[in-house]
Amino acid sequence: MENIAKVINRSSNGHKMASEQSDKKDLGKGTKAVHSGTSPSENSLNTPVYQSSTFFLDDNAYQMWQAGTPRAPVYSRYNNPSMRAVEKKVAHLEGAEDALVFSTGMAAICTTLLTFLSQGDRIVTTRNLYGGTIISLDQDFTRFGIDVHYVDVKDLDAVESALKEKETKILYCETITNPLLEISDLPELAKLAKKYGALPIVDSTFATPMGCQPLDHGFDLVLHSVTKLLNGHSDILGGTVAGSQDLIHQIWYKLRNFGGSMDPHQASLLERGMKTLHVRYERAVTTASQLAAWLESH
């Protein structure tokens, strides 16, 4: 049986990941949802559950660990083939170079934001967000000395005024807001963020990669709570972030330190759920359209 370190090593290779992303860019989203990320061993159609906390070290794995290389194949908090398969699937669906998975959506959000925010830094966002995000921003981020500035992101003039007023590290919003279902103008928000040197980050949980790919609209990082539509079966919690390899590597170090890692069994269930994402999304859109038409006529 293939050495576990080699399996993780292969799946950890960033250049191979970028090459695979390029190879798959012309495939349909449904094909990506089913086949991306899989690296079957022993001719298994599905990725095995690598239910192991630690792994044997070969020379290459030891050198990676000693050098502090992201995802060194040592410990499942650092990397695990079951997790890596899902990360690659998310990255391919989002058109990203790389991705990470987390134990919960809030772990993904907080770890990502705290990678780039320090005491005295400013984040511009909106109060029309998922409630858990607002609670954390109000109760935790402010306690760390981070300036959280709220603005109506539908008002682009107000957003520009806020970005112009004071140096801002992050502009944060949601593609479709939870729970009010308002739509953010991602291309214009991304332009404003980059005009004033802010990092544009979006939570695209409600849109999923089937409905919107924020990286194509100028955003640098896209988050999801996989608890909802990406998994689709209401049997796990989880989160993910996708973006450039450089940004994802920076976030990985904080994921390693904070410990919000997804476990292999979660990852296996998520991989199963994502294989039907395209079918579930199409049915949801069809049903919603029919319901809207019926309500409009009554």
Q: Say what the pLDDT of residue 12 is.
A: 47
Q: Say what the pLDDT of residue 42 is.
A: 58
Can you tell me the mean pLDDT for 189-200? Answer: 99
Residues near 255 by Cβ (< 8 Å), separated by ≥ 6? 100, 102, 111, 261
Stated pTM of the model = 0.87
pLDDT at 129 over 90: yes
8 confidence band (pLDDT: 50, 70, 90): very low
Q: What's the CA gap between 140 and 145, in Å, rounded?
A: 9
Task: Tell me whether residue 50 is one of the annotated catalytic residues.
Answer: no
pLDDT at 96 over 90: yes
Catalytic one among 50, 78, 130, 196?
Answer: 130
Can you tell me the mean pLDDT for 149-165? Answer: 98
pLDDT at 15 over 50: no
Quickly tell me which residue has 């904070």 as its tokens: 258
Quickly tell me which residue has 């290389």 as its tokens: 69
Task: Tell me whether residue 130 is one of the annotated catalytic residues.
Answer: yes
Catalytic one among 98, 203, 220, 263?
Answer: 203
Task: Tell me whether residue 283 is one of the annotated catalytic residues.
Answer: no
230 confidence band (pLDDT: 50, 70, 90): very high
Report residue 156 as tokens: 């682009």
Q: Which pLDDT tens digit goes with each residue over 244-254?
A: 999 999 999 99
Output 199 or 45, whichever has higher pLDDT: 199
Catalytic one among 29, 191, 228, 272?
Answer: 228
Can you tell me the mean pLDDT for 134-152? Answer: 98
Quickly tell me which residue has 């306690």 as its tokens: 143
Q: Which pLDDT tens digit goes with each residue over 164-186?
A: 999 999 999 999 999 999 999 99
295 confidence band (pLDDT: 50, 70, 90): very high
Domains and CATH numbers, the chain: 4-296 (3.40.640.10)
Can you tell me the mean pLDDT for 226-232? Answer: 96
Q: Which pLDDT tens digit goes with each residue over 35-70?
A: 666 665 656 778 889 999 998 888 888 888 888 888
Catalytic one among 6, 10, 29, 77?
Answer: 77
